[in-house]
Amino acid sequence: MKSSYSAHRSFSPQAFTEWAIVAMIVGLFLSRALLSVSIGVFFLLAPIRLGFRTWLTMAIRDRLVWILGLLWLLPVISGLWSDNLNAWSDVIRIKLPLLLLPMGWVGLSLNRSSYQRIGWTLTILTCIGAIVSVAPMFWDGLSVQRDYLRGGSLITPLENDRVRFSWLIVALLFWMEMQWRTVSSRGRWIVGILAFLFMLYLHVLAVRIGLLCFYLLAFFWIVRIFSNPSMRKWILPVFILLVSLPLLMYQILPTFRARVDYIRYDWSYTFSGKYLPGGNDAIRMQSLQASKNVIDEHSVYGVGFGDIRSKIDSAYQKIDPNRSAADRIYPANEWAVYGVGMGWIGIIAFSGLMIWLFFYSSIDPFRWRSWVLATILSFVTDIGLEVQYGVFLVPFLLLFFHSSDRIKKQEIRS
């Protein structure tokens, strides 16, 4: 009788939901198809867990469903005036996790052990990915350094999406800080060593959005720790250490030094308004100029998400007809994307959703707002909601951190 009960429990919808989350994480590293299928399964398990009526009622009342879901719904509405419906449907398909993940997370009541398993699965796979990524430095370090001086980088997991991979590592550092107080003394050694290695890898990889978010969250962590009066005597040396860290990394890490030197070279073009073929920041700034031109011509409701690429190409043709196709990039931040796609309606709506996300109710407001700020910062310099890995990681990490904070607070109260 006992074994029968255990078997039933092992194959319950709740257990399947945890396995679906683990499958998403595995798919993140190994297979886009597995990632897409597991997101769909995760979504379909929600009404099975709760019953359709209860699930729908809870979803309608969940503000995070509305915030993330509207980020998907705005492009859907733009289909009414998009000429290229094939491109529009691709955008809607890529952004679908913004709706499916929060809808699937509704009423999810995993325990602390489940969240620990999920978190450590993500950490272990990320650690393996970082080791594989950095391995070429040990047998061909000079070639890697030369690539960095030309704006290149190490090959990373997530199909070489180094921006999303670096941001994922920052998220795991954020999560491991949360684990520090709950693990044993031996566990703290493991957490500390992994955190140090991840921090070192961030500087070796030297992707700016990852480093910016890392230092932002490190600053917030210092503010929180040293708000305790007994810790204030340490605030100056720790702050000096944080400020000195990038200077130290510049001296000891060739790739970090090469990245900084390349950025300085790239910025010389950016600030002079010149075009640097194959560059980075200068091209990004000019993509924003092209976006502004399109928004000025279609200021009220934009061109529709299906026509962003074609209209931006037309704007580039006016700005610089000789620009190579590879350098005619998509708008370089999310406000520009929503502005081109939906005009000032899109810009205002996107800004409102970011503000709503920042003030979304949380059991630990400081932690929540710290991560939301790191998320918003990534939208300023990149288009994380326009690519499959980003559009998965953004809602997944927000939902995961919000739920983990809730579990942690419940345990403290009990």
Alpha-carbon gap, residue 66 to 393, rounded angstroms: 18
Mean pLDDT of 399-414: 72
Is the predicted pLDDT of residue 14 greater than 90, yes or no? no
pLDDT digits (tens, 9 = 90+) for 309-334: 999 999 988 887 877 777 788 898 99
Task: Give residue 408's pLDDT band: very low, low, confident or very high (50, 70, 90).
Answer: low
Give me the sign of the Cα torsion angle 373, 376, 380, 382: positive
Task: Give residue 3's pLDDT band: very low, low, confident or very high (50, 70, 90).
Answer: very low
Both tokens of 143, joined, read 């070639």
Mean pLDDT of 117-123: 95
Alpha-carbon gap, residue 316 to 322, rounded angstroms: 9
Is the predicted pLDDT of residue 249 greater than 90, yes or no? yes
Alpha-carbon gap, residue 394 to 170, rounded angstroms: 13
Q: What is the pTM of this model?
A: 0.92
Q: How many CA atoms lie within 13 A of 91 on its CB side?
A: 28
pLDDT digits (tens, 9 = 90+) for 343-363: 999 999 999 999 999 999 888
Q: Considering the chain, what is the average pLDDT of its residues?
A: 88
Give which of 183, 184, 175 is closest to 124, Cα–Cα: 175
Contact between 369 and 220 under an 8 Å Cβ cutoff? The reply is no
pLDDT digits (tens, 9 = 90+) for 223-247: 888 777 776 677 778 788 888 999 9
How large a percentage of the chain has pLDDT more than 70? 92
301 Cα distance to chain centroid: 27
**What pLDDT is recorded for position 8?**
43
- DSSP assignment of 224-292 equals HHTTSGGGGGGHHHHHHHHHHHHHHHHHH-HHHHHHHHHHHHHHHHHHHT---TT-SHHHHHHHHHHHH
Give me the sign of the Cα torsion angle 113, 117, 122, 126: positive
Is the predicted pLDDT of residue 39 greater than 50, yes or no? yes
Task: Give residue 90's pLDDT band: very low, low, confident or very high (50, 70, 90).
Answer: very high
Task: Give residue 210's pLDDT band: very low, low, confident or very high (50, 70, 90).
Answer: very high
The single-letter code of the amino acid at 32 is R
Which residue carries 């991840």 as its tokens? 198
Higher pLDDT, 412 or 12: 12
Is the predicted pLDDT of residue 105 greater than 50, yes or no? yes
Contact between 368 and 357 under an 8 Å Cβ cutoff? The reply is no
Alpha-carbon gap, residue 247 to 222, rounded angstroms: 19
CA angle 347, 348, 351 (to 5 degrees): 85
Alpha-carbon gap, residue 124 to 280, rounded angstroms: 32
Contact between 234 and 167 under an 8 Å Cβ cutoff? The reply is no
Q: How many CB atoms lie within 10 A of CB 34?
A: 16
**What pLDDT is recorded for position 266?**
77
